């Protein structure tokens, strides 16, 4: 047994017994599960069954223990040539606990995942909970029957690279310092980190950083968010909206601006999951560019002074078709000249012209499609899907995507179509791809860098970069997203139930770094990522975000939305300092921003209040 001092805490670690505990003055956190290696053939190898040798290690900045695990065997006694070297240490300056793990001896495709460290024992009773970065954020009270068998960090299951637990006021935050090939599992009030191979093998050192808090530290999910914010700032990844405006002045026009989301054309391939053979009229239709321009003029007359138009389906065959070879713009809807007139109309009205674009789904019927440019799996095959409107497609290797982005936006310039914003679909919601091609190999970390490069190309051209949601590996290069709401039982259902208790965890970290729109109609409940019993507008206020306007919004809708837009104008570039539940239960909530603005909402009554500069605005959603 090794004993390591960690400020007010004492760590007890026995590598041979696979035992780890942190003794705080007011409680103990210990491993609940047995670290393990899951193989792709379904077998599980446990660290407790391996041969272990260990020794203390003190480097001057780290006090800890090195341990080597070898001679892993399965339940049938078969031995595997895998060795896991670990270093468990306390940073003597920060008192963070670091878990490092490096695997050797695995052959390509052998390992599915490695769990190191083990999951901690959660709490029980009132006041104990787990915090997961699922979409905007999820708080799971202890004892709740929710299981998350395998959540992936850096996609919808994990917008951010951390989780945390609170028990009676004490708690810990666990940060993935190597997040690109990382997962988590949650069940029985324990969260277990999992690391997966990169290009088939566990090729590099993986590291987790844990920070423990005692009861008297007043630890809660706000504590975790601010710790993580400090961490990403230290890493150089906290890029504020102010910084993004300095790099691209067009971003400033988003502040206090509603989003108008419309489309032009739809063509559904007969092999698509959306194809309706009995209703052919739903498989092919369009709205002219000039019609959209007329609708925007009417919207302006009804009182919308500025807006950001997000336009789907402008390409040759409409929405989600033929990417990345979408030119020329849809002919029947007006072609390049019609699209140019719509862009020009936006500028005349003081609106911004933004488009939907796509550089991941790689459609078979695109002019330049070549399977050699698609993502290649470990076995030499390529991904195949036919879910979306365009039908059969693979995935374009992200290492090649920047070339297509440059080509297409040069084409817009040739056509004289001014693009002021562009949404590169799925880049900030789906997990990072890896590619085994010998010509363009790519790790998930390299995929993230390539996606950021695509967005940075837009920034360099003065175009506002946006994408679907908000995984934080891409946020440094994003100014706007489509949405970043909460994880619910059925994301698209108006009757969806929340998974756990929704909290604005992401905004507690990143509110002043990205513009997030929310639904804004009066009386509307539910919607994408909004619990069916909640007003979407109240979430917009609570989160200090902008809102969507329908292109056909009435004067009443426009007037109602101004409260949220004025609030966004005030706090968009302000850090969200805190969030709290007020009174009993979770239905009355309050947020505070760095300039002192405070917002409270009551999801049961629909009432809200906004206090700033000594004055309070009250209303009902």
Q: What is the pLDDT of residues 230-283, one digit of tens each?
A: 999 999 999 999 999 999 999 999 999 999 999 999 999 999 999 999 999 999
**Each residue of 276-335: pLDDT tens digit?**
999 999 999 999 999 999 999 999 999 999 999 999 999 999 999 999 999 999 999 999
Residues constituting the chain:
621
How far are the Cα atoms of 130, 138, 143, 474, 524 from residue 531, in angstroms, in the given order?
20, 12, 21, 26, 11
Q: State the average pLDDT for the chain.
A: 95
* pLDDT for the residue numbered 495: 82
Please check whether residues 201 and 246 belong to one and the same domain.
Answer: no
Greatest Cα pair distance, the chain, in angstroms, is 77
Q: Is 80 exceeded by the pLDDT of residue 393?
A: yes
**Residues 170 and 213 sit within 8 Å (Cβ to Cβ):** yes
| The last residue of a domain, from among 470, 504, 522 | 470
Please check whether residues 151 and 268 belong to one and the same domain.
Answer: no
Phi and psi, residue 546, nearest 5°: -85, 180
Report d(CA 447, CA 193) in Å as an integer. 22
Q: Which domain holds residue 148?
A: 2-234
Please check whether residues 288 and 173 belong to one and the same domain.
Answer: no
Q: Is 277 helix (H, G, I), strand (E, B) or coil?
A: coil
List the one residue out of 369, 373, 472 whose CA is nearest residue 137: 472
Please check whether residues 181 and 206 belong to one and the same domain.
Answer: yes
- The angle that helices 444-460 and 401-415 make with each other, rounded to 10 degrees, is 20
Q: Is 80 exceeded by the pLDDT of residue 215?
A: no
Is residue 273 in a domain? yes
* pLDDT for the residue numbered 123: 75
Please check whether residues 228 and 252 belong to one and the same domain.
Answer: no
* pLDDT for the residue numbered 407: 98
Q: What are 327-331's contacts with CB under 8 Å, separation 24+?
A: 327/408, 327/411, 329/289, 329/415, 329/417, 330/264, 330/265, 330/286
Contacts of 438 by beta carbon, 8 Å cutoff, 6+ apart: none
Is residue 77 in a domain? yes
Report d(CA 121, CA 106) in Å as an integer. 30
CATH code assigned at 147: 2.70.98.30
* pLDDT for the residue numbered 147: 67
* pLDDT for the residue numbered 25: 82
Q: Is 86 helix (H, G, I), strand (E, B) or coil?
A: strand
Mean pLDDT in residue range 516-536: 90
* pLDDT for the residue numbered 35: 96
User: Which two structure tokens, joined as six digits, stand for 475?
Assistant: 């946020």
Please check whether residues 387 and 440 belong to one and the same domain.
Answer: yes
Report d(CA 499, CA 139) in Å as an integer. 9
CATH code assigned at 367: 3.20.20.80
Q: Is 80 exceeded by the pLDDT of residue 124?
A: no
- Could you tell me the pLDDT band of residue 148, with boundaries at 50, 70 and 90? low
Please check whether residues 248 and 331 belong to one and the same domain.
Answer: yes
Q: Is 70 exceeded by the pLDDT of residue 149?
A: no
Mean pLDDT in residue range 468-473: 96
Mean pLDDT in residue range 496-501: 91
Is residue 591 in a domain? no
- Could you tell me the pLDDT band of residue 494, with boundaries at 50, 70 and 90? confident
Is residue 167 in a domain? yes
Q: Which percentage of the chain shows pLDDT scores above 90?
A: 85
H/E segment holding residue 506: helix 505-510
What's the gap between Cα 320 and its chain centre? Answer: 22
**Each residue of 73-104: pLDDT tens digit?**
988 888 999 999 999 999 988 889 999 999 99
Please check whether residues 54 and 121 belong to one and the same domain.
Answer: yes
Please check whether residues 121 and 246 belong to one and the same domain.
Answer: no
* pLDDT for the residue numbered 473: 96
- Could you tell me the pLDDT band of residue 127, with boundaries at 50, 70 and 90? confident
* pLDDT for the residue numbered 217: 77
Please check whether residues 58 and 196 belong to one and the same domain.
Answer: yes
Please check whether residues 334 and 194 belong to one and the same domain.
Answer: no
Among the listed ranges 22-31, 277-286, 287-296, 411-420, which one has the minimum average pLDDT value?
Answer: 22-31
Is residue 84 in a domain? yes
Is residue 585 in a domain? no
Please check whether residues 268 and 197 belong to one and the same domain.
Answer: no
């Amino acid at each position: 047994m090794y004993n390591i001092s960690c400020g007010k805490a004492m760590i007890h670690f026995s590598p041979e017994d696979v035992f780890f505990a942190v003794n705080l003055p007011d409680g103990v956190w210990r491993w609940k599960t047995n670290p393990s290696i899951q193989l792709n053939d379904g077998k599980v190898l446990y660290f407790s069954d391996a041969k272990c040798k260990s020794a203390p290690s003190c480097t001057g900045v780290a006090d800890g223990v090195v341990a080597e695990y070898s001679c892993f065997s399965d339940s049938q006694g078969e031995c595997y040539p895998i060795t896991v070297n670990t270093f468990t240490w306390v940073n003597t300056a920060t008192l963070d606990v670091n878990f490092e793990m490096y695997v050797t001896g695995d052959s390509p495709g052998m390992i599915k995942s490695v769990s190191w460290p083990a999951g901690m024992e959660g709490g029980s009773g009132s006041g104990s909970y787990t915090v997961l970065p699922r979409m905007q954020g999820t708080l799971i009270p202890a004892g709740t029957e929710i299981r998350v068998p395998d959540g992936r960090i850096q996609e919808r299951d994990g917008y951010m690279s951390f989780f945390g637990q609170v028990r009676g006021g004490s708690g810990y935050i666990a940060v993935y310092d190597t997040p690109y090939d990382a997962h988590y599992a949650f069940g029985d009030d324990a969260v277990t980190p999992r690391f997966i191979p990169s290009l088939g093998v566990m090729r590099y050192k993986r590291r987790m950083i844990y920070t423990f808090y005692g009861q008297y530290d007043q630890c809660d999910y706000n504590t975790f968010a601010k710790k993580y914010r400090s961490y990403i700032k230290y890493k150089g990844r906290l890029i504020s909206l102010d910084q993004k405006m300095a790099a691209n002045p067009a971003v400033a026009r988003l502040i206090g601006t509603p989003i108008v989301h419309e489309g032009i054309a739809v063509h559904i391939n007969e092999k698509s999951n959306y194809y309706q053979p009995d209703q052919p009229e739903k498989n092919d239709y369009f709205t002219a560019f000039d019609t959209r321009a007329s609708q925007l003029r009417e919207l302006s007359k009804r009182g919308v002074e500025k807006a950001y138009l997000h336009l789907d389906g402008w390409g040759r065959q409409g929405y989600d078709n033929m990417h990345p070879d979408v030119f020329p713009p849809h002919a029947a809807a007006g072609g390049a000249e019609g699209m140019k007139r719509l862009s020009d109309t936006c500028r005349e009205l003081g609106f911004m012209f933004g488009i939907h674009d796509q550089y991941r789904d790689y459609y078979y019927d695109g002019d330049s499609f070549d399977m050699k440019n698609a993502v290649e799996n470990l076995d030499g095959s390529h991904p195949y899907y036919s879910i979306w409107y365009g039908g059969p497609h693979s995935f374009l290797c992200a290492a090649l995507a920047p070339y297509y982005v440059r080509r297409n936006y040069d084409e817009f310039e040739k056509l004289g179509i001014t693009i002021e914003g562009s949404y590169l679909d799925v880049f900030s919601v789906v997990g990072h791809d890896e590619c085994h091609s010998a010509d363009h190999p790519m790790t998930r970390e390299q995929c993230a860098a390539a996606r950021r490069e695509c967005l940075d190309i837009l920034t360099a051209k003065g175009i506002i970069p946006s994408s679907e949601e908000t995984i934080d590996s891409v946020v440094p290069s994003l100014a706007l997203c489509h949405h970043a709401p909460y994880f619910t039982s059925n994301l698209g259902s108006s009757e969806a139930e929340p998974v756990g208790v929704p909290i604005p965890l992401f905004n507690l970290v990143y509110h002043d770094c990205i513009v997030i729109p929310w639904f804004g109609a009066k009386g509307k409940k539910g919607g994408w990522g909004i619990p069916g019993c909640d007003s979407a507008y109240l979430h917009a206020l609570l989160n200090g975000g902008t809102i969507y306007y329908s292109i056909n919004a009435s004067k009443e809708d426009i007037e109602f939305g101004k409260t949220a837009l004025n609030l966004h104008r005030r706090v968009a570039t302000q850090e969200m300092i805190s969030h709290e539940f007020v009174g009993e239960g979770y239905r009355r909530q309050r947020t505070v921003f760095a300039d002192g603005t405070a917002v409270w909402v009551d999801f049961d009554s629909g009432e809200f209040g906004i206090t700033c500069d000594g004055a309070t605005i009250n209303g009902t959603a």
